[in-house]
Structure 1
Amino acid sequence: MRRRLTAAVLMLTLAACTTPASPSEVRPDAQGEAAFVYAQNLDVVTDWDPATSYSNEVIALQNIYETLTVWNPVTKKASPRLATSWTSGADGKSWTFTLRPDVTFHSGRPLDAAAVKASIERTMKTDAGASYIWDAVETIRVTGPLTVTFQLKYAAPLDLTASAAYAAYIYDVSAVDQVKDGKQDAGSGPYTVDGWRKGAEHELTLKAYDGYWGGWDRPHYRTVKFRVVPDPRRRWELLQDGEISFVDRLSPGLYRRAVRTPGVRTADMPSFNTAMLLFNTERGPLRDVRLRKALQKAIDYRGLIRALGGGAVPASGIVPEGLPGHQRERLPRQDLAAALQLLQQAGYGPGGRPLTLTLTYAEGDADQKILVTRLAETLRPLNVTLDSRPMEWLAQWERGKQKAQDIFVMYWWPDYADGWSWFGNVFRSGKPPVFNLTYLKDSKADGMIDMLPMLNVTDPATAKKTFHQLTDRLLDVRAAAVFPWVVNYQRAYLGGISGYDDNPAYPDVVFVYDLRPSA
């Protein structure tokens, strides 16, 4: 899941030149129709199975498959998608969803309550990807042709779970075993697979599903293409030439240029994607909480935000703004005097023992490289050496599972729009550690984390208090991590496209059906 952004952050400089006027729309094909062309720097599909997919392909699968609900960034609640309504019991342990009538899968089979039950049960049985989002579910019952009831082991916000970016898809279980080669899919969404060429630049093409329940009676893109263009300069040039429609991330310099470019629209908004430095609390020198606190004090938070231009905003606490669990007025500040004092108390610092810390970060991620470079410069006068190693994500993650570094740098965004994801996935004790790459074992924190899903449903006021207590404990008492920034997405797309809205619960996803192409 956390692979997608390891090479997506682009820090570019272009020589000064006259910017040509851009076309407002991608040039039409032989049939006179313009496709929506999404360009990114990594392969789109690594896993076609909607139950286990947990990576880049979310940008395509969210246009092919649908979930029961979708998170609404305006209301900050779940909204209807395949389910038109839902109710929950007073104890938050029973949920009934009423489905949209007359929906069919791309196979032509009906999407009914039995199909919902079958697809979610299959996803749960895979025990892979983000299938853990359904851990609260004890039973699923078909209570009518278009009604399905979930009985939970404990209270949980199932309407939010059902909107997750991963593992919440409803699919045709009778067709899903044939999706592995990318020749077909098992979805119900507005688009279906038209062609896939693994490893090719023009990797994936989707076409409109004529039987889509939303209909096609107004202007829509009937073709969607995903193109892999690793060179960021070339992606910008292709956008200006009208060869592609959308670029998911621009450097601050390029974004400023895009704002001034005729025929190009831009979007600039904070995400739910946080940068994190996770400290090894189990092995090595950072077992000493004084050293972890010293590192927290040493980071130049304001300087990093300036260095990243418009690509980041300050992080306050653990959970980003806009989600339950966000804590205002927790902006960290650099305090080198306090850092020096803590180092000296632990026997390090100038005149003390030299300290070397190993750090791993994402190869190709320019923002993380800036973080590492600036941190090394800050620590050097304090007699601390930073041994930093850029790594491809899977290799970094495997190393992290072996507890073989002092500091692990990575991004985190939630599976669904709730602050629990950071606490339950990143900080809760577990064997193997999976994403708890601080290796923290804190029974008190675990107890509070385990209560959050129930409290979110039954007692939001206490949930808010618990979120804040957890943030204080993990950052102040245990000093297990640092959150230096929240990623700020800076997009560019052709001016003939209207209807684009960035939904931070679905990182980098463009819901193409909602767009309006120019005439």
Structure 2
Amino acid sequence: MRWHKRLLAAGAVVAMALTATACAGGQVRGSQSPAASGAPTDATFVYVPNLEVVTEWDPASSYSNEIIAMHNIYETLTRYNPQTKKAEPLLATSWTSSDEGKKWTFTLRQGVTFHTGKPLDAKAAKAAIERTKKIGDGAAYIWDAVDKIEAKDDFTLEFKLKYPVPLDLVASSGYAAFIYDTTAVDGDSDDLKKWFNEGNDAGTGPYTVESWRKGEEVELTLKAYDQYWGGWDGPHYKKVSYRVTPEITTAWQLLQRGEVSFVPRLNPQLFAQAGSAENVQTSQTPSFQNLLLLFNTASGPLKDVRLRKAIQKAIDYDGLLAALQGSGVAASGFVPEGLLGHVPGRTPKQDLAGAEALLKEAGYGPGGKQLELELTYAQGDNDQQVLVTLLSSTLDKLNVKLSAKALQWNTQWDQGKAKDPEKRQDIFVMYWWPDYADAYSWFFNVFRSTPDDQISFNLSYLKDKKVDEAIDGLPELMATDPAAAEKAAAELQAKIIDEHAAVAVPYVVNYQRAYAKSVQGYVDNPAYPNVVFVYDLKPAA
């Protein structure tokens, strides 16, 4: 949604972008020892999201909840490893960069086939990336630096760039970096898109689509792709089921009864119970995901910047963190800690006197007119509900009536993108995370305007030419001059948060997972939010 929708030290970015590098391909995944006696051979991994899974099936355009399934169906050239903070081999076994980071050469893994049965080679990988670039949807901007792609031979892919970027990281992106068979159907790209959106797939990943029933509880089921290059020796889950369960208490009951395998989020009380449950295990991992309150800068009462600043000040940031009981940590700007562009010392604090003064200046607040605002947020998200409850109570004391609507993501997003400004909300609540391990995603996707005013995720509707120009200069700075990039990111956040008051950032998510004791080998990867790489797990007896 991005549900409800990059961890490098500055020096690491430069090293990867400017230094010739090579990463050797390692052991083929799946070469584990034979299954232990009694381990299931046909086990199903049941994932319980709170919202519908699929909004877009085309791997070129996918940019939403379906990430949790897509990374089990499709693969990228590389995958980000949060332990090493580097990209590691996946469909590419090695790579080098030269010409000061403007030429990259990837060696592809041999023996890989698409789910269509056709072999993966350099021409096929080139075609997939070029189609994604041409369509230009979702996160396709990640390839903007690419000037030319050449298939030097069957398994060598060469990229020539217009300006330096860490292409091994770009190639590990959670979106728009998928390699897929562009010849899966006869016809043009539109025919292929239609075929994808009927629930078909053309990836190289360990699983392929078995069934997709939009709107049903068990929305999506995947099955093992028998010819997967990693092999199926040893214990593996042979099926993956996505069972949509909006109510968190229901998800918890299903987990306790052993009917599901993985719940991505519980509320603090249930998570505490899960920690001592006999048949459940838990994990906590810092994330790159934060919560954004995007204020409507273009229409409605919040077009007045004084009112936007008043709402920023009214939020009870500390009270919210206390209520979340560990599932969120304080934010400082909108770039999370650990990413180039993070600015310490920007943690917001509630200022009710300041909020009241700004409301009064604009003719609202206690003793003045009542300000009426509409807020939309994700249905079934307990943490967002806590935010709404606290904010409604606070604003009520300031003579501000908050009408909060809990909506399914597609409904919320459609309203936010409405062509008629009068139909849009005043405050749009959503999570955001990077497309790859870099901060550019927040700036480009959420706050850059478009020439045709097309609305995607820039749901504050901010339009500032100087902000746009500064955002456009970030990628090259991040690759070549970290100090200048840090300065530019800090200045941009000051302009967007302080001057325009386009956003408030209450917290960064701390992932708290609950899953069955029978699930072995689970590791959270914050570069792929809420994704479980099911092939890497082992089902216990």
Q: Go from structure 1 to structure 2 and tell me whether the alpha carbon gap of 1:198 and 1:396 turns closer, same or farther (over 3 Å shift).
A: closer
Q: 1:406 aligns with which of 411, 422, 426?
A: 426
1:18-50 C-alpha deviation (Å, 9 max, x unpaired): xxxxxxxxxx99x86432222333343343322
- Report the CA distance between 1:77 and its aligned residue: 2.5
The answer as to 2:61 corresponding to 1:62 is no
Q: Go from structure 1 to structure 2 and tell me whether the alpha carbon gap of 1:288 and 1:514 turns closer, same or farther (over 3 Å shift).
A: same
Contact 1:157 1:453 in 2 (8 A): no
- Report the CA distance between 1:108 and its aligned residue: 3.2
1:307-352 C-alpha deviation (Å, 9 max, x unpaired): 2233322211111223222222221111212222333333433334
1:260-304 C-alpha deviation (Å, 9 max, x unpaired): 011211012232222111122233333333322222221110111
Q: 1:138 aligns with which of 137, 147, 152?
A: 147
- Taking the TM superposition and a 5 Å limit, the aligned residue runs for 1:380-395 are 380-395=396-411
The aligned counterpart of 1:512 is 534
- Taking the TM superposition and a 5 Å limit, the aligned residue runs for 1:149-298 are 149-175=158-184, 177=192, 178-182=195-199, 185-298=201-314
- Report the CA distance between 1:91 and its aligned residue: 4.2
Amino acid at match of 1:474: I
* CA distance, structure 1, for counterparts of residue 344 and residue 273 of structure 2: 33
The aligned counterpart of 1:304 is 320
The aligned counterpart of 1:425 is 445
- Report the CA distance between 1:52 and its aligned residue: 2.3
Q: Go from structure 1 to structure 2 and tell me whether the alpha carbon gap of 1:240 and 1:325 turns closer, same or farther (over 3 Å shift).
A: same
Q: Secondary structure at the match of 2:48?
A: strand
Amino acid at match of 1:125: K
The aligned counterpart of 2:49 is 40
Contact 2:51 2:408 in 1 (8 A): no
* CA distance, structure 2, for counterparts of residue 308 and residue 507 of structure 1: 19
1:478-519 C-alpha deviation (Å, 9 max, x unpaired): 222100112232211111222111111112111112112224
Q: Number of paired residues?
A: 495
Q: Go from structure 1 to structure 2 and tell me whether the alpha carbon gap of 1:32 and 1:295 turns closer, same or farther (over 3 Å shift).
A: closer
1:78-119 C-alpha deviation (Å, 9 max, x unpaired): 222111222333443332222122222233322111111011
Amino acid at match of 1:488: N
Q: Secondary structure at the match of 2:473?
A: helix
Q: 1:479 aligns with which of 491, 494, 501?
A: 501
Contact 1:92 1:458 in 2 (8 A): no
Q: Secondary structure at the match of 1:143?
A: strand
Contact 1:248 1:492 in 2 (8 A): yes
Q: Go from structure 1 to structure 2 and tell me whether the alpha carbon gap of 1:41 and 1:276 turns closer, same or farther (over 3 Å shift).
A: closer
1:134-161 C-alpha deviation (Å, 9 max, x unpaired): 2332321112221112223333332222
Contact 2:77 2:179 in 1 (8 A): yes
The aligned counterpart of 2:108 is 99
- Report the CA distance between 1:353 and its aligned residue: 4.2
* CA distance, structure 2, for counterparts of residue 296 and residue 202 of structure 1: 39
Q: 2:471 aligns with which of 430, 442, 449?
A: 449
* CA distance, structure 2, for counterparts of residue 196 and residue 362 of structure 1: 23
Amino acid at match of 1:369: Q
- Taking the TM superposition and a 5 Å limit, the aligned residue runs for 1:68-147 are 68-147=77-156
1:179-209 C-alpha deviation (Å, 9 max, x unpaired): 5444x53111122334444444444333333
Q: Secondary structure at the match of 2:506?
A: strand
Q: Go from structure 1 to structure 2 and tell me whether the alpha carbon gap of 1:131 and 1:256 turns closer, same or farther (over 3 Å shift).
A: same
* CA distance, structure 1, for counterparts of residue 376 and residue 237 of structure 2: 42
Q: 1:318 aligns with which of 320, 324, 334?
A: 334
1:369-428 C-alpha deviation (Å, 9 max, x unpaired): 332232232223333333333444333333333433332222222222211111111111
Q: 1:346 aligns with which of 362, 381, 397?
A: 362
* CA distance, structure 2, for counterparts of residue 368 and residue 384 of structure 1: 19
The aligned counterpart of 1:5 is 4
* CA distance, structure 1, for counterparts of residue 86 and residue 509 of structure 2: 22
* CA distance, structure 2, for counterparts of residue 369 and residue 36 of structure 1: 29
Amino acid at match of 1:251: N
Report the TM-score when normalising by structure 2.
Answer: 0.84
Contact 1:92 1:454 in 2 (8 A): no
Q: Secondary structure at the match of 2:538?
A: coil
Contact 1:279 1:286 in 2 (8 A): yes
Amino acid at match of 1:331: T
Q: Go from structure 1 to structure 2 and tell me whether the alpha carbon gap of 1:440 and 1:43 turns closer, same or farther (over 3 Å shift).
A: closer
Over aligned residue pairs, what C-alpha RMSD do you find? 2.5
Moved more, 414-423 or 235-244: 235-244
Report percent identity of matched pairs. 61
The aligned counterpart of 1:331 is 347
Contact 2:43 2:236 in 1 (8 A): no
* CA distance, structure 2, for counterparts of residue 406 and residue 234 of structure 1: 32
Q: Secondary structure at the match of 2:353?
A: helix
Report the TM-score when normalising by structure 1.
Answer: 0.88
1:426-480 C-alpha deviation (Å, 9 max, x unpaired): 1112212322222222222222211111111111222122212211221122222
- Taking the TM superposition and a 5 Å limit, the aligned residue runs for 1:458-473 are 458-473=480-495
Contact 1:58 1:166 in 2 (8 A): yes
* CA distance, structure 1, for counterparts of residue 463 and residue 242 of structure 2: 42
Q: Go from structure 1 to structure 2 and tell me whether the alpha carbon gap of 1:219 and 1:287 turns closer, same or farther (over 3 Å shift).
A: same
* CA distance, structure 2, for counterparts of residue 68 and residue 47 of structure 1: 21
* CA distance, structure 2, for counterparts of residue 42 and residue 287 of structure 1: 31
